[in-house]
Amino acid sequence: MGEQITFAIAAIGAVGFGVGVVFFKDAFRAAVSLIGTLLSVALLFIALLAPFAALIQIIVYAGAIVVMFLFVIAYVGPRGEIGPGSRKPWQVWLGLLGGALTALYEYLTNLALVPASGLTVTQIFAAGAAFSLVHVLNNSVVF
């Protein structure tokens, strides 16, 4: 029961701070929110009994990279915001096309793994393509 509570708190924190990283307009606040996200992920690592991964997460990412971000933000200073009319319509369509092509690639990759892995389509879509690819490699290369 305690593990589920820890996971729920860490997951809600990671998602909440992640939303803050994306939606804060002030770069300093977004970087501080990134620290919260990384600490929440480190708590998830601890809940998964991976203390080394949690330690590396805190030391390398929260302790070094984000501090460097904060230093650069403080050094450069505030910048003017980009107005809402600065995005061109072709950029929006290009982003939507990229997302659609990525989704199509994932779908076709999962379908290609069905005969090779021996798993059902439901199992592959539930577990994801990475798990299915590892399953195929373990059955055909390692064993």
Q: Note the pLDDT tens digit of each residue in 68-127.
A: 888 888 887 766 555 666 678 888 899 899 989 988 887 777 666 666 656 666 665 566
Residue 138 has pLDDT above 90, yes or no: no
**Which of residues 126 and 1 earns the better pLDDT score?**
1
Residue 128 has pLDDT above 50, yes or no: yes
- Determine the Cα–Cα distance for residues 23 and 29; give it in Å rounded to an integer: 10
Report how far apart, in Å, the C-alpha atoms of 38 and of each of 2, 44, 46 are.
21, 10, 12
Mean pLDDT score of the chain: 79
pLDDT band of residue 142 (cuts 50, 70, 90) is very low
Q: Report yes or no: 17 and 33 within 8 Å, Cβ to Cβ.
A: yes
pLDDT band of residue 135 (cuts 50, 70, 90) is low
pLDDT of residue 10: 92
- Determine the Cα–Cα distance for residues 100 and 72; give it in Å rounded to an integer: 35
When pLDDT is averaged across residues 63-67 and rounded to a whole number, the result is: 84
When pLDDT is averaged across residues 43-59 and rounded to a whole number, the result is: 89
pTM above 0.85, yes or no: no
9 CB-near residues (< 8 Å, 6+ apart) = 43
